């Protein structure tokens, strides 16, 4: 998220509809974008004498028909295969055409490049040295403090305008909707740019402030309203979460059952001795069931001591997903950290369910082995 100062007023920006421009798009870098939308954005900077898209159109289902329908000239570039893998030749073709346009079409004074590739920086510098203007359209501009940029907007009169700005600060928040694709300018400057002096679209206020009674035409929206879509997604995903919860509990029950069966199998002589000394079968079953219950209680205590701090840390600071969501590797915008929520009801319910499972899987094998004759148990003839 960038905070910017605009260097001049909107009447002196260097672009107008009469400017002759060349629009060259790196299709590999901007794949997945709407070709028509890209063209409309570029047309706001001037008259497009040249508009081309460079990519291997065999990777698209329509083979480039959508690009041609939008108004582009598709330039099909096959990649080069080598021992190190597959290398796209789009950068070379685009740069070659850009240099040809620079020297063969002196009436073109503006180059618009649709790419986020830093390999084109030398090309941009060469165009600037020739007195030409440059506009870069990219998914991620990767701007730094002190970088200059061109901002374009649509004012209240539905008129496009543009200006140049300088990045004075870069903010990083936990709200990815604010971080991605936003430039912050002073309110007075924004009102002048949009021809909306004395007006505002949204007004945010700190939590805890009293609500103004005379709101006029303003519509109050609380936090629950703003996150209603996310709440609906979570609600729709609850059945899947319940299925995963049941599967994990079933796996835990299987592991506990196997451990208890192995423990009782190895303690067959002990059970035979207890029954030979006069302990009834019901007391033997009760003894091993109680032992399983005590193991469950001890496991709860150890979980709180050893794993409790881990749960608290993830609940407070979240789980770092290790993904730069601005690059779109997952095909959607996703927050940098996943914050798990542990409700008291979930913790208590899980503890009770696991304890019941432990008691059941402790009772079943001990009840089975208690039916054996004490002599067989003492000889090690245990069949569970």
DSSP one-letter code for 212? P
- 11 pLDDT band, cuts 50/70/90, is very low
Q: What is the pLDDT of residue 257?
A: 79
Q: What is the pLDDT of residue 165?
A: 80
DSSP secondary structure letters along 248-297: HHHHHHHHHHHHHHHHHHHTHHHHHHHHHTT--HHHHHHHHHHHHHHHHH
Q: What is the pLDDT of residue 7?
A: 44
Structure tokens at 116: 């986020």
Of the given ranges (79-88, 161-170, 321-330, 349-358), which has the lowest mean pLDDT?
321-330
DSSP secondary structure letters along 76-92: E---EEETTEEE--HHH
Among residues 160, 331, 370, 362, the alpha carbon closest in space to that of 262 is found at: 362
Give me the domain span that covers residue 106: 2-193
Residues 32 and 165 in one domain: yes
Residues 169 and 290 in one domain: no
Check whether 378 has a pLDDT greater than 60: yes
Of the given ranges (15-29, 140-154, 353-367), which has the lowest mean pLDDT?
140-154
Contacts with 211 (C-beta within 8 Å, 6 or more apart), sequence order: 220
Q: What is the pLDDT of residue 179?
A: 65
Among residues 59, 1, 52, the alpha carbon closest in space to that of 23 is found at: 52
Number of domains in the chain: 2
Q: Which residue has better confidence, 339 or 176?
A: 339
What separation in angstroms does the CA of 351 have from each of 192, 301, 346?
60, 11, 9
Most confident range, picked from 132-136, 226-230, 259-263: 132-136
Residues 23 and 171 in one domain: yes
Q: Which residue has better confidence, 235 or 59?
A: 235
Residues 297, 313: Cα–Cα separation, whole Å: 24
Among residues 77, 81, 73, 79, the alpha carbon closest in space to that of 101 is found at: 73
> Over the stretch 249-305, which tens digit does the pLDDT of each residue have?
888 888 877 877 777 777 767 777 777 777 777 887 788 788 878 888 888 888 889
Check whether 13 has a pLDDT greater than 90: no
Check whether 355 has a pLDDT greater than 60: yes
Let me know if residue 366 belongs to a domain: yes
Domain boundary among 148, 166, 193: 193
Residue 154's CATH number: 3.40.50.1010
Let me know if residue 111 belongs to a domain: yes
Contacts with 5 (C-beta within 8 Å, 6 or more apart), sequence order: 165, 166, 168, 185
Among residues 202, 200, 199, 185, the alpha carbon closest in space to that of 9 is found at: 185
Check whether 99 has a pLDDT greater than 90: yes
> Over the stretch 159-203, which tens digit does the pLDDT of each residue have?
777 777 888 887 776 666 666 667 888 888 888 888 888 888 777
Residues 186 and 241 in one domain: no
Q: What is the pLDDT of residue 24?
A: 92
Residues 39 and 183 in one domain: yes
Residues 172 and 232 in one domain: no
Percent of the chain at pLDDT > 90 equals 5
Q: What is the pLDDT of residue 22?
A: 92
Residues 184 and 331 in one domain: no
Q: Which residue has better confidence, 384 or 72?
A: 72
Check whether 12 has a pLDDT greater than 60: no
Q: Are strands 110-114 and 133-137 parallel, antiparallel or unpaired?
A: parallel
Helix axes 268-276, 281-302, angle to 10 degrees: 140
Check whether 380 has a pLDDT greater than 70: no
Residues 185 and 262 in one domain: no
Q: Contact at 8 Å (CB) between 115 and 136?
A: yes
Q: Contact at 8 Å (CB) between 343 and 248?
A: no
What separation in angstroms does the CA of 25 have from each of 21, 39, 67, 93, 255?
13, 10, 11, 11, 57
Structure tokens at 209: 């402030």
Let me know if residue 216 belongs to a domain: no
Check whether 86 has a pLDDT greater than 60: no
Q: Which residue has better confidence, 311 or 149?
A: 311
Contacts with 281 (C-beta within 8 Å, 6 or more apart), sequence order: 275, 370, 371
Residues 269 and 351 in one domain: yes
Residues 340, 11: Cα–Cα separation, whole Å: 50
**Average pLDDT, whole number, for the chain?**
77
Residues 14 and 156 in one domain: yes
> Over the stretch 26-70, which tens digit does the pLDDT of each residue have?
887 776 567 888 888 888 788 899 999 988 887 777 777 888 888
For residue 356, report the phi and psi dihedrals to the nearest 5 degrees.
-65, -40
Percent of the chain at pLDDT > 70 equals 79
Check whether 15 has a pLDDT greater than 60: no
Let me know if residue 346 belongs to a domain: yes
Return the residue matching tokens 């998914």.
139
Let me know if residue 127 belongs to a domain: yes
Let me know if residue 199 belongs to a domain: no
Let me know if residue 10 belongs to a domain: yes
Check whether 339 has a pLDDT greater than 70: yes
Residues 161 and 274 in one domain: no
Domain boundary among 193, 215, 239: 193
Q: With the C-alpha atoms ordered 295, 301, 307, 312, is the resulting torsion angle positive or negative?
A: positive
Average pLDDT over residues 358-377: 72
Residues 150 and 282 in one domain: no
Check whether 213 has a pLDDT greater than 80: no
Taking the CA atoms of residue 360, residue 362, residue 365 and residue 371 in that order, the dihedral angle to the nearest 10 degrees is: -100
Residues 254, 244: Cα–Cα separation, whole Å: 15
Return the residue matching tokens 């369910």.
353
Contacts with 27 (C-beta within 8 Å, 6 or more apart), sequence order: 53, 54, 55, 57, 67, 90
Let me know if residue 134 belongs to a domain: yes
Of the given ranges (283-297, 345-359, 367-381), which has the lowest mean pLDDT?
367-381
């Amino acid at each position: 998220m960038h905070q910017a100062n605009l260097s001049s007023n909107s009447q002196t920006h260097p672009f107008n509809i009469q400017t002759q421009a060349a629009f060259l798009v790196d299709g590999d870098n901007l794949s997945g974008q709407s070709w028509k939308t890209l063209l409309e954005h570029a047309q706001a900077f001037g008259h497009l004498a040249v508009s081309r898209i460079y990519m291997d159109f065999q990777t698209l289902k329509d083979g480039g028909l959508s690009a041609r329908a939008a108004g582009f000239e598709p330039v099909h570039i096959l990649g080069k295969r080598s021992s190190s893998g597959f290398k796209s030749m789009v950068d070379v073709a685009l740069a070659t055409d850009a240099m040809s346009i620079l020297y063969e079409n002196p009436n073109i004074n503006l180059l618009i490049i649709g790419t986020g590739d830093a390999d084109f920086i030398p090309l941009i510098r060469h165009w600037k040295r020739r007195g030409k203007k440059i506009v870069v359209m990219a998914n991620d501009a990767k701007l730094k403090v002190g970088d200059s940029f061109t901002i374009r907007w649509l004012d209240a009169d539905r008129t496009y305008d543009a200006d140049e700005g300088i990045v004075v600060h870069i903010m990083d928040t936990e709200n990815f909707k604010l971080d991605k694709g936003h430039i912050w300018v002073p309110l007075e400057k924004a009102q002048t740019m949009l021809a909306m002096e004395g007006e505002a679209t949204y007004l945010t206020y700190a939590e805890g402030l009293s609500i103004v009674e005379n709101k006029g035409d303003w519509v109050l929206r609380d936090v629950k309203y703003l996150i209603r879509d996310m709440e609906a997604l979570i609600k729709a995903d609850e059945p899947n979460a319940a299925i995963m919860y049941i599967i994990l509990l079933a796996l835990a029950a299987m592991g506990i059952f196997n451990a208890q069966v192995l423990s009782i199998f190895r303690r067959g002589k002990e059970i035979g001795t207890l029954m030979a000394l006069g302990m009834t079968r019901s007391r033997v079953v009760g003894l091993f069931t109680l032992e399983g219950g005590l193991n469950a209680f001890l496991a709860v205590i150890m979980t709180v001591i050893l794993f409790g701090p881990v749960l608290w840390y993830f609940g407070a600071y979240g789980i770092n997903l290790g993904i730069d969501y601005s690059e779109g590797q997952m095909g959607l915008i996703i927050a940098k950290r996943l914050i798990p929520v542990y409700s008291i009801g979930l913790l208590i319910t899980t503890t009770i369910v696991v304890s019941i499972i432990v008691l059941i899987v402790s009772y079943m094998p001990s009840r089975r082995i208690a039916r054996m004759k004490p002599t067989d148990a003492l000889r090690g003839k245990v069949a569970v």
